A and B are shown apart, each in its own frame.
Chain A
Amino acid sequence: MQYPRQQTTEQPIQEKSYLSNFSTKLSPFLVANTGTLVFLFIWWLVTALGIIQAVLLPTPIATFSSLWAGITSGDLLLDFWLTLYRTLYAFVIASILGIPLGLLLGANEKLYKSFEFLIDFFRSTPATAMFPLFLVVFGIGDFSKVAVAAFAGALVVFFNVAYGVMNTRKTRIMAAKVMGVPKWRVFVDVIFFETLPQTFIGLRTAVSLTLVVIIVAEMFVGSTNGMGQRIIDAQQVFDMPGMYASIIATGVMGYGLNQFFLLTENKFIHWKGQ
Protein backbone atom coordinates (compact mmCIF):
# COMPACT_ATOMS: atom_id res chain seq x y z
CA MET A 1 0.00 0.00 0.00
CA GLN A 2 2.78 2.40 0.80
CA TYR A 3 4.98 1.85 -2.18
CA PRO A 4 2.62 3.04 -4.93
CA ARG A 5 1.67 6.04 -2.79
CA GLN A 6 5.26 7.16 -2.66
CA GLN A 7 5.48 6.89 -6.40
CA THR A 8 2.51 9.15 -6.96
CA THR A 9 3.96 11.83 -4.72
CA GLU A 10 7.22 11.81 -6.62
CA GLN A 11 5.71 12.35 -10.02
CA PRO A 12 4.36 15.89 -9.47
CA ILE A 13 7.73 16.96 -8.08
CA GLN A 14 9.46 15.82 -11.25
CA GLU A 15 6.90 17.63 -13.36
CA LYS A 16 7.33 20.79 -11.36
CA SER A 17 11.09 20.88 -11.75
CA TYR A 18 10.69 20.25 -15.46
CA LEU A 19 8.24 23.16 -15.68
CA SER A 20 10.47 25.54 -13.75
CA ASN A 21 13.38 24.54 -15.98
CA PHE A 22 11.27 25.32 -18.98
CA SER A 23 10.26 28.74 -17.75
CA THR A 24 13.74 29.79 -16.61
CA LYS A 25 15.09 28.94 -20.06
CA LEU A 26 12.74 31.49 -21.63
CA SER A 27 13.21 35.10 -20.75
CA PRO A 28 10.21 36.71 -19.01
CA PHE A 29 9.76 38.97 -22.02
CA LEU A 30 9.23 36.03 -24.33
CA VAL A 31 6.81 34.37 -21.93
CA ALA A 32 4.69 37.51 -21.74
CA ASN A 33 4.71 38.16 -25.47
CA THR A 34 4.41 34.72 -27.04
CA GLY A 35 0.82 35.46 -28.08
CA THR A 36 1.84 38.71 -29.77
CA LEU A 37 4.68 37.05 -31.62
CA VAL A 38 2.41 34.24 -32.80
CA PHE A 39 -0.09 36.85 -33.98
CA LEU A 40 2.60 38.75 -35.92
CA PHE A 41 3.85 35.51 -37.44
CA ILE A 42 0.36 34.51 -38.63
CA TRP A 43 -0.11 38.02 -40.04
CA TRP A 44 3.15 37.69 -41.94
CA LEU A 45 2.31 34.17 -43.10
CA VAL A 46 -1.15 35.14 -44.35
CA THR A 47 0.21 38.08 -46.37
CA ALA A 48 3.31 36.24 -47.62
CA LEU A 49 1.23 33.34 -48.95
CA GLY A 50 -1.18 35.82 -50.51
CA ILE A 51 -4.19 34.33 -48.66
CA ILE A 52 -5.46 37.85 -48.09
CA GLN A 53 -4.90 40.51 -50.75
CA ALA A 54 -2.47 43.30 -50.03
CA VAL A 55 -5.24 45.89 -50.66
CA LEU A 56 -7.01 44.53 -47.59
CA LEU A 57 -4.07 43.56 -45.45
CA PRO A 58 -0.53 44.79 -46.10
CA THR A 59 2.46 42.88 -44.80
CA PRO A 60 3.65 43.64 -41.27
CA ILE A 61 6.88 44.94 -42.74
CA ALA A 62 5.10 47.40 -45.04
CA THR A 63 2.90 48.51 -42.15
CA PHE A 64 5.71 49.07 -39.69
CA SER A 65 7.91 50.85 -42.23
CA SER A 66 4.98 53.15 -42.98
CA LEU A 67 4.64 53.72 -39.23
CA TRP A 68 8.36 54.46 -39.03
CA ALA A 69 8.16 56.85 -41.97
CA GLY A 70 5.24 58.64 -40.31
CA ILE A 71 7.17 59.02 -37.10
CA THR A 72 10.44 60.18 -38.69
CA SER A 73 8.74 62.66 -41.04
CA GLY A 74 6.84 63.96 -38.01
CA ASP A 75 3.37 64.24 -39.59
CA LEU A 76 2.07 61.12 -37.81
CA LEU A 77 3.54 62.41 -34.57
CA LEU A 78 1.76 65.72 -35.03
CA ASP A 79 -1.60 64.00 -35.54
CA PHE A 80 -0.84 61.74 -32.60
CA TRP A 81 -0.19 64.67 -30.27
CA LEU A 82 -3.25 66.55 -31.51
CA THR A 83 -5.51 63.59 -30.78
CA LEU A 84 -3.84 62.98 -27.43
CA TYR A 85 -4.20 66.67 -26.59
CA ARG A 86 -7.93 66.71 -27.45
CA THR A 87 -8.51 63.48 -25.54
CA LEU A 88 -6.76 64.75 -22.42
CA TYR A 89 -8.41 68.15 -22.74
CA ALA A 90 -11.82 66.44 -22.82
CA PHE A 91 -10.79 64.14 -20.01
CA VAL A 92 -9.70 66.99 -17.75
CA ILE A 93 -13.00 68.81 -18.29
CA ALA A 94 -14.84 65.54 -17.65
CA SER A 95 -13.00 65.07 -14.35
CA ILE A 96 -13.46 68.67 -13.22
CA LEU A 97 -17.19 68.40 -13.87
CA GLY A 98 -17.76 64.77 -12.96
CA ILE A 99 -15.93 64.38 -9.65
CA PRO A 100 -17.47 67.27 -7.66
CA LEU A 101 -20.93 66.62 -9.12
CA GLY A 102 -20.61 62.93 -8.30
CA LEU A 103 -19.53 63.69 -4.74
CA LEU A 104 -22.37 66.18 -4.31
CA LEU A 105 -25.17 64.05 -5.70
CA GLY A 106 -23.78 60.87 -4.20
CA ALA A 107 -23.88 62.43 -0.77
CA ASN A 108 -27.45 63.69 -1.21
CA GLU A 109 -29.45 60.65 -2.03
CA LYS A 110 -32.68 62.65 -2.42
CA LEU A 111 -31.04 64.96 -4.94
CA TYR A 112 -29.66 61.95 -6.79
CA LYS A 113 -33.05 60.25 -6.88
CA SER A 114 -34.63 63.34 -8.40
CA PHE A 115 -32.03 63.32 -11.18
CA GLU A 116 -31.86 59.56 -11.57
CA PHE A 117 -34.00 59.35 -14.69
CA LEU A 118 -32.08 62.11 -16.45
CA ILE A 119 -28.76 60.53 -15.54
CA ASP A 120 -29.82 57.11 -16.78
CA PHE A 121 -31.26 58.63 -19.94
CA PHE A 122 -28.12 60.51 -20.91
CA ARG A 123 -25.95 57.58 -19.94
CA SER A 124 -27.90 55.42 -22.36
CA THR A 125 -27.77 57.97 -25.17
CA PRO A 126 -24.74 57.49 -27.45
CA ALA A 127 -22.56 60.56 -27.10
CA THR A 128 -21.97 60.62 -30.86
CA ALA A 129 -25.68 61.33 -31.33
CA MET A 130 -25.00 64.69 -29.71
CA PHE A 131 -22.54 65.90 -32.38
CA PRO A 132 -25.04 67.97 -34.34
CA LEU A 133 -26.31 69.61 -31.17
CA PHE A 134 -22.79 70.45 -29.98
CA LEU A 135 -21.85 71.73 -33.44
CA VAL A 136 -24.75 74.16 -33.23
CA VAL A 137 -23.82 75.27 -29.73
CA PHE A 138 -20.02 75.42 -30.01
CA GLY A 139 -19.50 75.91 -33.74
CA ILE A 140 -17.52 73.77 -36.15
CA GLY A 141 -14.21 74.43 -34.41
CA ASP A 142 -12.04 72.11 -32.44
CA PHE A 143 -13.83 72.75 -29.17
CA SER A 144 -17.14 71.17 -30.15
CA LYS A 145 -15.35 67.82 -30.54
CA VAL A 146 -13.68 68.20 -27.18
CA ALA A 147 -17.01 69.23 -25.67
CA VAL A 148 -18.88 66.13 -26.84
CA ALA A 149 -16.11 63.89 -25.57
CA ALA A 150 -16.00 65.77 -22.29
CA PHE A 151 -19.75 65.44 -21.94
CA ALA A 152 -19.61 61.68 -22.45
CA GLY A 153 -16.63 61.33 -20.11
CA ALA A 154 -18.14 63.53 -17.41
CA LEU A 155 -21.25 61.35 -17.28
CA VAL A 156 -19.13 58.25 -16.74
CA VAL A 157 -16.97 59.89 -14.07
CA PHE A 158 -19.98 61.42 -12.39
CA PHE A 159 -21.90 58.17 -12.32
CA ASN A 160 -19.01 56.16 -10.91
CA VAL A 161 -18.16 58.72 -8.22
CA ALA A 162 -21.80 59.07 -7.16
CA TYR A 163 -22.17 55.31 -7.07
CA GLY A 164 -18.99 55.04 -5.01
CA VAL A 165 -20.17 57.63 -2.50
CA MET A 166 -23.56 56.00 -2.15
CA ASN A 167 -22.02 52.60 -1.54
CA THR A 168 -19.39 53.56 1.01
CA ARG A 169 -19.24 51.25 3.98
CA LYS A 170 -20.94 52.98 6.86
CA THR A 171 -18.58 51.74 9.56
CA ARG A 172 -15.68 54.07 8.74
CA ILE A 173 -17.99 57.05 8.51
CA MET A 174 -19.44 56.09 11.89
CA ALA A 175 -15.94 55.70 13.29
CA ALA A 176 -15.04 59.23 12.20
CA LYS A 177 -18.33 60.68 13.43
CA VAL A 178 -17.93 59.21 16.88
CA MET A 179 -14.49 60.85 17.11
CA GLY A 180 -16.26 64.16 16.81
CA VAL A 181 -14.77 64.90 13.39
CA PRO A 182 -16.69 67.74 11.68
CA LYS A 183 -18.93 66.78 8.79
CA TRP A 184 -16.81 68.32 6.04
CA ARG A 185 -13.75 66.50 7.36
CA VAL A 186 -15.60 63.18 7.31
CA PHE A 187 -16.22 63.95 3.67
CA VAL A 188 -12.63 64.87 2.84
CA ASP A 189 -10.85 62.34 5.05
CA VAL A 190 -13.12 59.34 4.79
CA ILE A 191 -15.79 59.41 2.08
CA PHE A 192 -13.39 60.78 -0.55
CA PHE A 193 -10.87 57.99 0.09
CA GLU A 194 -13.56 55.35 0.32
CA THR A 195 -14.72 56.45 -3.10
CA LEU A 196 -11.28 56.57 -4.73
CA PRO A 197 -11.24 53.00 -6.11
CA GLN A 198 -14.60 53.57 -7.80
CA THR A 199 -13.50 57.05 -8.92
CA PHE A 200 -10.50 55.52 -10.65
CA ILE A 201 -12.68 53.00 -12.44
CA GLY A 202 -14.69 55.97 -13.67
CA LEU A 203 -11.59 57.88 -14.77
CA ARG A 204 -10.18 54.91 -16.62
CA THR A 205 -13.45 54.27 -18.43
CA ALA A 206 -13.76 57.97 -19.20
CA VAL A 207 -10.34 58.30 -20.79
CA SER A 208 -11.06 55.35 -23.08
CA LEU A 209 -14.43 56.82 -23.96
CA THR A 210 -13.11 60.31 -24.67
CA LEU A 211 -10.53 58.78 -27.02
CA VAL A 212 -13.27 56.92 -28.90
CA VAL A 213 -15.40 60.04 -29.25
CA ILE A 214 -12.46 62.19 -30.33
CA ILE A 215 -11.39 59.67 -32.99
CA VAL A 216 -14.93 59.44 -34.36
CA ALA A 217 -15.25 63.23 -34.34
CA GLU A 218 -11.97 63.60 -36.21
CA MET A 219 -13.17 61.11 -38.81
CA PHE A 220 -16.56 62.54 -39.57
CA VAL A 221 -16.93 66.03 -38.17
CA GLY A 222 -14.92 68.13 -40.59
CA SER A 223 -11.44 67.74 -39.24
CA THR A 224 -8.18 68.43 -41.03
CA ASN A 225 -5.92 66.65 -38.59
CA GLY A 226 -5.80 64.08 -35.82
CA MET A 227 -5.50 60.30 -35.91
CA GLY A 228 -9.15 59.78 -36.84
CA GLN A 229 -8.82 62.00 -39.86
CA ARG A 230 -5.50 60.34 -40.74
CA ILE A 231 -7.05 56.87 -40.73
CA ILE A 232 -9.96 57.96 -42.91
CA ASP A 233 -7.66 59.82 -45.34
CA ALA A 234 -5.43 56.77 -45.78
CA GLN A 235 -8.48 54.63 -46.46
CA GLN A 236 -9.80 57.08 -49.08
CA VAL A 237 -6.60 56.81 -51.13
CA PHE A 238 -6.15 53.07 -50.45
CA ASP A 239 -2.92 53.65 -48.58
CA MET A 240 -3.37 50.44 -46.64
CA PRO A 241 0.02 50.37 -44.87
CA GLY A 242 -0.61 53.99 -43.80
CA MET A 243 -4.08 53.15 -42.51
CA TYR A 244 -2.88 50.18 -40.54
CA ALA A 245 0.05 52.18 -39.19
CA SER A 246 -2.32 54.88 -37.96
CA ILE A 247 -4.66 52.31 -36.38
CA ILE A 248 -1.70 50.77 -34.55
CA ALA A 249 -0.52 54.19 -33.37
CA THR A 250 -4.02 54.96 -32.06
CA GLY A 251 -4.06 51.60 -30.31
CA VAL A 252 -0.74 52.44 -28.69
CA MET A 253 -2.27 55.66 -27.41
CA GLY A 254 -5.31 53.92 -25.94
CA TYR A 255 -3.19 51.20 -24.40
CA GLY A 256 -0.72 53.72 -22.99
CA LEU A 257 -3.45 55.79 -21.39
CA ASN A 258 -5.02 52.72 -19.85
CA GLN A 259 -1.69 51.44 -18.52
CA PHE A 260 -0.86 54.85 -17.11
CA PHE A 261 -4.11 54.90 -15.16
CA LEU A 262 -3.70 51.32 -13.99
CA LEU A 263 -0.20 52.03 -12.70
CA THR A 264 -1.25 55.23 -10.94
CA GLU A 265 -4.20 53.41 -9.48
CA ASN A 266 -2.13 50.53 -8.13
CA LYS A 267 0.38 52.88 -6.61
CA PHE A 268 -2.12 55.35 -5.26
CA ILE A 269 -4.86 53.02 -4.03
CA HIS A 270 -2.55 50.51 -2.43
CA TRP A 271 -5.31 49.22 -0.17
CA LYS A 272 -7.54 48.13 -3.05
CA GLY A 273 -8.67 44.54 -2.80
CA GLN A 274 -7.21 44.09 0.65
Chain B
Amino acid sequence: MVSKLGVDIEVTGLTKYLGEKVLYENFDLKIARGKITCIFGPNGCGKSTLLNMMAGLLTPDAGQMRFGTEVRSSGRTKTIQKKGQKSSTNNSRNESPVKIGYVFQNYRDALFPWLRAAENIEYPLLSAGLSRLQRKARVETLIHQFDVGFDLSRYPYELSGGQQQLVSIMRALSTQPNILFLDEPFSALDYEATLAIRDKLQEVFTATGVTIVMISHDLEEAVYLADHILLLTKRPTRLAERVVFEAQRPRTLKTLSEPAFVSTKAHSLEVFRREAS
Protein backbone atom coordinates (compact mmCIF):
# COMPACT_ATOMS: atom_id res chain seq x y z
CA MET B 1 0.00 0.00 0.00
CA VAL B 2 2.96 2.31 0.46
CA SER B 3 3.62 2.81 -3.23
CA LYS B 4 0.02 3.40 -4.24
CA LEU B 5 0.89 6.65 -5.92
CA GLY B 6 3.95 5.85 -7.98
CA VAL B 7 3.86 4.26 -11.40
CA ASP B 8 6.67 2.65 -13.36
CA ILE B 9 8.11 4.07 -16.54
CA GLU B 10 9.30 2.19 -19.60
CA VAL B 11 11.06 3.85 -22.48
CA THR B 12 11.55 1.78 -25.63
CA GLY B 13 13.34 2.52 -28.89
CA LEU B 14 13.88 6.16 -28.00
CA THR B 15 15.70 8.08 -30.71
CA LYS B 16 16.63 11.74 -30.59
CA TYR B 17 18.78 13.67 -33.00
CA LEU B 18 20.29 17.08 -32.39
CA GLY B 19 20.56 18.41 -35.89
CA GLU B 20 22.81 15.88 -37.61
CA LYS B 21 24.20 14.37 -34.44
CA VAL B 22 22.73 11.39 -32.65
CA LEU B 23 21.93 11.90 -28.99
CA TYR B 24 19.90 8.75 -28.36
CA GLU B 25 19.45 5.85 -30.73
CA ASN B 26 17.13 2.98 -29.92
CA PHE B 27 17.49 3.73 -26.23
CA ASP B 28 15.62 1.56 -23.73
CA LEU B 29 15.07 2.33 -20.08
CA LYS B 30 12.99 1.05 -17.23
CA ILE B 31 12.27 2.98 -14.08
CA ALA B 32 10.75 1.12 -11.16
CA ARG B 33 7.60 2.37 -9.47
CA GLY B 34 7.82 3.82 -6.01
CA LYS B 35 11.61 4.03 -6.07
CA ILE B 36 14.12 6.83 -6.28
CA THR B 37 16.11 6.59 -9.47
CA CYS B 38 19.10 8.87 -9.93
CA ILE B 39 20.58 9.54 -13.34
CA PHE B 40 24.28 10.23 -13.48
CA GLY B 41 26.34 10.82 -16.59
CA PRO B 42 28.89 13.06 -18.28
CA ASN B 43 28.11 16.68 -19.12
CA GLY B 44 26.01 17.10 -22.22
CA CYS B 45 25.15 13.42 -22.56
CA GLY B 46 21.48 14.33 -22.65
CA LYS B 47 20.19 13.85 -19.11
CA SER B 48 18.00 16.93 -19.18
CA THR B 49 16.84 16.09 -22.69
CA LEU B 50 15.82 12.62 -21.52
CA LEU B 51 13.89 14.03 -18.58
CA ASN B 52 12.18 16.62 -20.77
CA MET B 53 11.17 13.96 -23.27
CA MET B 54 9.72 11.82 -20.50
CA ALA B 55 7.89 14.85 -19.10
CA GLY B 56 6.41 15.57 -22.53
CA LEU B 57 8.22 18.89 -22.91
CA LEU B 58 10.30 17.69 -25.85
CA THR B 59 9.23 15.30 -28.57
CA PRO B 60 11.51 12.40 -29.39
CA ASP B 61 12.21 11.56 -33.03
CA ALA B 62 11.04 8.01 -32.42
CA GLY B 63 10.18 5.70 -29.59
CA GLN B 64 7.51 4.91 -27.11
CA MET B 65 7.01 5.67 -23.46
CA ARG B 66 4.77 3.95 -21.01
CA PHE B 67 3.77 5.37 -17.65
CA GLY B 68 1.92 2.72 -15.69
CA THR B 69 -0.88 1.79 -18.08
CA GLU B 70 -0.60 4.94 -20.13
CA VAL B 71 1.28 4.81 -23.41
CA ARG B 72 2.59 7.87 -25.17
CA SER B 73 4.20 7.70 -28.57
CA SER B 74 4.95 10.70 -30.74
CA GLY B 75 2.73 12.97 -28.71
CA ARG B 76 -0.37 10.81 -28.60
CA THR B 77 -1.70 9.45 -25.35
CA LYS B 78 -3.73 6.33 -24.99
CA THR B 79 -4.50 3.94 -22.21
CA ILE B 80 -3.80 0.26 -22.64
CA GLN B 81 -7.03 -1.62 -23.18
CA LYS B 82 -7.85 -4.35 -20.76
CA LYS B 83 -10.09 -7.17 -21.88
CA GLY B 84 -13.77 -6.67 -21.19
CA GLN B 85 -13.57 -2.93 -21.10
CA LYS B 86 -15.63 -0.74 -23.36
CA SER B 87 -14.56 1.86 -25.86
CA SER B 88 -11.37 3.74 -25.20
CA THR B 89 -13.15 7.08 -24.78
CA ASN B 90 -15.15 5.62 -21.94
CA ASN B 91 -12.05 4.14 -20.46
CA SER B 92 -9.89 7.20 -20.49
CA ARG B 93 -12.67 9.16 -18.87
CA ASN B 94 -12.72 6.84 -15.90
CA GLU B 95 -9.01 6.54 -15.41
CA SER B 96 -7.22 9.70 -14.42
CA PRO B 97 -4.13 10.30 -16.52
CA VAL B 98 -0.67 9.95 -15.06
CA LYS B 99 0.35 13.14 -13.31
CA ILE B 100 3.90 14.44 -13.42
CA GLY B 101 5.65 16.89 -11.14
CA TYR B 102 8.80 18.61 -12.32
CA VAL B 103 11.43 20.48 -10.32
CA PHE B 104 13.84 22.60 -12.32
CA GLN B 105 17.45 23.28 -11.52
CA ASN B 106 16.98 27.03 -11.56
CA TYR B 107 14.19 27.81 -9.11
CA ARG B 108 14.55 31.52 -9.84
CA ASP B 109 13.37 30.98 -13.40
CA ALA B 110 10.81 28.31 -12.55
CA LEU B 111 8.65 29.88 -9.85
CA PHE B 112 6.15 32.59 -10.78
CA PRO B 113 7.43 35.81 -9.16
CA TRP B 114 4.05 37.56 -9.57
CA LEU B 115 2.43 35.01 -7.26
CA ARG B 116 3.07 34.55 -3.56
CA ALA B 117 4.79 31.33 -2.51
CA ALA B 118 1.51 29.76 -1.38
CA GLU B 119 -0.18 30.81 -4.63
CA ASN B 120 2.66 29.22 -6.55
CA ILE B 121 2.04 25.95 -4.74
CA GLU B 122 -1.71 26.22 -5.38
CA TYR B 123 -1.35 27.10 -9.03
CA PRO B 124 -1.32 23.56 -10.49
CA LEU B 125 -4.47 22.80 -8.47
CA LEU B 126 -6.29 25.70 -10.08
CA SER B 127 -6.31 24.17 -13.52
CA ALA B 128 -7.04 20.79 -11.94
CA GLY B 129 -10.36 22.38 -10.96
CA LEU B 130 -10.04 22.29 -7.17
CA SER B 131 -12.03 24.74 -5.08
CA ARG B 132 -10.37 27.43 -3.01
CA LEU B 133 -10.96 25.49 0.18
CA GLN B 134 -9.56 22.28 -1.26
CA ARG B 135 -6.48 24.13 -2.48
CA LYS B 136 -5.91 25.71 0.92
CA ALA B 137 -6.26 22.32 2.58
CA ARG B 138 -3.74 20.79 0.21
CA VAL B 139 -1.22 23.54 0.91
CA GLU B 140 -1.75 23.01 4.64
CA THR B 141 -1.01 19.31 4.24
CA LEU B 142 2.17 20.09 2.35
CA ILE B 143 3.22 22.62 4.98
CA HIS B 144 2.88 19.89 7.59
CA GLN B 145 4.64 17.29 5.47
CA PHE B 146 7.59 19.54 4.81
CA ASP B 147 7.50 21.17 8.22
CA VAL B 148 7.75 24.61 6.65
CA GLY B 149 8.99 27.26 9.04
CA PHE B 150 8.84 30.36 6.86
CA ASP B 151 6.04 32.63 5.70
CA LEU B 152 4.44 31.35 2.50
CA SER B 153 2.58 34.61 1.94
CA ARG B 154 5.84 36.12 0.78
CA TYR B 155 6.86 36.45 -2.84
CA PRO B 156 9.48 33.98 -4.09
CA TYR B 157 12.15 36.66 -4.48
CA GLU B 158 11.79 37.45 -0.78
CA LEU B 159 12.85 33.91 0.14
CA SER B 160 16.28 32.31 0.33
CA GLY B 161 17.42 29.95 -2.40
CA GLY B 162 16.75 26.90 -0.27
CA GLN B 163 13.28 28.13 0.63
CA GLN B 164 12.52 28.85 -3.03
CA GLN B 165 13.56 25.38 -4.10
CA LEU B 166 11.45 23.93 -1.30
CA VAL B 167 8.48 25.89 -2.65
CA SER B 168 9.29 24.49 -6.12
CA ILE B 169 9.20 20.97 -4.76
CA MET B 170 5.94 21.62 -2.92
CA ARG B 171 4.44 23.04 -6.10
CA ALA B 172 5.54 19.98 -8.04
CA LEU B 173 3.98 17.72 -5.41
CA SER B 174 0.76 19.67 -4.89
CA THR B 175 -1.25 17.69 -7.43
CA GLN B 176 -0.08 14.45 -5.80
CA PRO B 177 1.72 13.35 -8.94
CA ASN B 178 2.53 9.74 -9.77
CA ILE B 179 6.01 10.70 -10.89
CA LEU B 180 8.33 13.43 -9.68
CA PHE B 181 11.16 14.54 -11.97
CA LEU B 182 13.99 16.63 -10.57
CA ASP B 183 16.74 18.07 -12.75
CA GLU B 184 19.78 18.85 -10.58
CA PRO B 185 17.55 20.38 -7.90
CA PHE B 186 20.39 21.09 -5.48
CA SER B 187 23.11 22.38 -7.77
CA ALA B 188 22.22 26.05 -7.20
CA LEU B 189 21.98 25.67 -3.41
CA ASP B 190 24.53 25.88 -0.64
CA TYR B 191 25.54 22.77 1.27
CA GLU B 192 23.36 23.40 4.30
CA ALA B 193 20.21 23.93 2.26
CA THR B 194 21.03 20.87 0.16
CA LEU B 195 21.29 18.61 3.21
CA ALA B 196 18.02 19.89 4.66
CA ILE B 197 15.96 19.65 1.47
CA ARG B 198 17.48 16.30 0.53
CA ASP B 199 16.29 14.77 3.77
CA LYS B 200 12.83 16.33 3.49
CA LEU B 201 12.56 14.90 0.01
CA GLN B 202 13.47 11.48 1.36
CA GLU B 203 10.85 11.80 4.11
CA VAL B 204 8.09 12.79 1.72
CA PHE B 205 9.12 9.98 -0.61
CA THR B 206 8.84 7.45 2.18
CA ALA B 207 5.45 8.80 3.16
CA THR B 208 3.95 8.94 -0.34
CA GLY B 209 5.73 6.34 -2.45
CA VAL B 210 5.85 8.61 -5.48
CA THR B 211 8.22 7.49 -8.23
CA ILE B 212 11.18 9.86 -8.19
CA VAL B 213 13.59 10.38 -11.06
CA MET B 214 16.40 12.77 -10.27
CA ILE B 215 19.37 13.97 -12.27
CA SER B 216 22.39 14.61 -10.13
CA HIS B 217 25.88 15.76 -10.88
CA ASP B 218 27.07 14.68 -7.44
CA LEU B 219 27.70 10.95 -7.22
CA GLU B 220 27.65 10.88 -3.44
CA GLU B 221 24.28 12.58 -3.40
CA ALA B 222 22.97 10.25 -6.12
CA VAL B 223 23.95 7.10 -4.23
CA TYR B 224 22.76 8.54 -0.92
CA LEU B 225 19.23 9.12 -2.22
CA ALA B 226 18.82 6.43 -4.84
CA ASP B 227 17.49 2.93 -4.94
CA HIS B 228 18.73 2.70 -8.50
CA ILE B 229 21.54 4.67 -10.06
CA LEU B 230 21.48 4.85 -13.84
CA LEU B 231 24.94 5.48 -15.19
CA LEU B 232 24.90 6.93 -18.70
CA THR B 233 27.71 6.98 -21.23
CA LYS B 234 28.89 9.88 -23.34
CA ARG B 235 27.14 10.49 -26.67
CA PRO B 236 25.61 8.62 -28.40
CA THR B 237 24.15 7.91 -25.04
CA ARG B 238 23.59 4.39 -23.75
CA LEU B 239 22.87 2.99 -20.33
CA ALA B 240 26.25 1.88 -19.00
CA GLU B 241 24.96 0.22 -15.89
CA ARG B 242 22.09 0.17 -13.46
CA VAL B 243 23.54 0.14 -9.96
CA VAL B 244 21.24 -0.94 -7.17
CA PHE B 245 21.71 0.39 -3.66
CA GLU B 246 19.34 -1.03 -1.12
CA ALA B 247 20.32 0.57 2.17
CA GLN B 248 17.49 1.15 4.61
CA ARG B 249 15.62 4.41 4.87
CA PRO B 250 15.75 6.91 6.32
CA ARG B 251 19.34 7.21 5.28
CA THR B 252 21.39 9.50 7.44
CA LEU B 253 24.88 10.90 7.55
CA LYS B 254 25.88 7.53 9.03
CA THR B 255 24.91 5.87 5.76
CA LEU B 256 27.72 7.77 4.08
CA SER B 257 30.35 5.77 5.97
CA GLU B 258 28.78 2.33 5.68
CA PRO B 259 30.81 -0.19 3.65
CA ALA B 260 27.91 -0.85 1.25
CA PHE B 261 27.65 2.86 0.48
CA VAL B 262 31.37 3.29 0.02
CA SER B 263 31.71 0.31 -2.29
CA THR B 264 28.63 1.27 -4.34
CA LYS B 265 29.96 4.75 -4.80
CA ALA B 266 33.42 3.48 -5.73
CA HIS B 267 31.98 1.03 -8.23
CA SER B 268 29.78 3.72 -9.81
CA LEU B 269 32.73 6.05 -10.09
CA GLU B 270 34.76 3.36 -11.80
CA VAL B 271 32.01 2.71 -14.36
CA PHE B 272 31.60 6.46 -14.90
CA ARG B 273 35.35 6.94 -15.43
CA ARG B 274 35.39 4.15 -17.97
CA GLU B 275 32.33 5.29 -19.90
CA ALA B 276 32.74 9.03 -19.80
CA SER B 277 36.21 9.21 -21.30
Contacts and interface: CB of A to CB of B under 8 A. Distances in A.
A27 interface: no
B232 to A, nearest CB: 22
Instruction: Pick the most buried of A169, A171, A185: most chain B CB atoms within 10 A of its CB.
Output: A171
A271 B108 CA distance: 11
A172 B109 contact: yes
Contact of A190 (B52, B99, B112, B128): B112
B44 interface: no
Contacts of A169: 109
Instruction: Pick the most buried of A175, A185, A196: most chain B CB atoms within 10 A of its CB.
Output: A175
Given A171-B110, A190-B112, A178 B56 contact: yes
Given A171-B106, A172-B109, A175-B102, A182 B114 contact: no
Interface in A149-198: 169, 171-172, 174-175, 177-182, 185, 189-190, 193, 196
Given A270-B155, A271-B155, A179 B109 contact: no
Interface in B78-117: 97, 99-102, 104, 106, 109-114
Interface in A176-227: 177-182, 185, 189-190, 193, 196
Contact of A181 (B55, B102, B114, B127): B127
B104 A175 contact: yes
Given A180-B127, A182-B127, A193-B112, A274 B157 contact: yes
A179 B173 CA distance: 10
B124 interface: yes
A178 B100 contact: yes
Nearest to B106: A171
Nearest to A272: B113
B237 interface: no
A189 B127 CA distance: 11
A173 to B, nearest CB: 9
Contacts, number: 53
B175 A175 contact: no
B97 to A, nearest CB: 8
A180 B99 contact: yes
A172 B127 contact: no
Interface string B123-156: 1100110000000000000000000000000010
B207 interface: no
Nearest to B168: A175
5 contacts: A175-B102, A177-B57, A179-B124, A196-B114, A271-B155
Contacts of B104: 171, 174-175
Given A178-B57, A179-B127, A180-B127, A172 B175 contact: no
Contacts of A171: 104, 106, 109-110
A270 B114 CA distance: 8
Interface residues of B, number: 24
The 5 closest A-B pairs by CB, nearest first: A271-B113, A274-B157, A171-B109, A179-B124, A178-B102
A138 B110 CA distance: 48
A172 B110 contact: yes
Given A178-B102, A179-B124, A181-B127, A274 B175 contact: no
Interface string A256-273: 000000000000011100
B155 A179 contact: no
Contact of A271 (B102, B123, B157): B157
A274 B111 CA distance: 12
A175 B111 CA distance: 8
A192 to B, nearest CB: 10
B114 A179 contact: no
A191 to B, nearest CB: 11
Contact of B113 (A177, A180, A182, A274): A274
Given A180-B97, A193-B112, 9 more contacts: A172-B112, A180-B127, A181-B124, A181-B127, A189-B123, A271-B113, A271-B114, A271-B155, A274-B113
Nearest to B124: A179
Contacts of A177: 56-57
Contacts of B106: 171
Nearest to A179: B124
A92 B101 CA distance: 42
Contacts of B52: 174
Contacts of A179: 123-124, 127, 175
A256 B249 CA distance: 64
A92 to B, nearest CB: 24
Contacts of B57: 174, 177-178
A38 B127 CA distance: 59
A216 B114 CA distance: 39
Contacts of A269: 114
A185 B129 CA distance: 13
A185 B157 contact: no
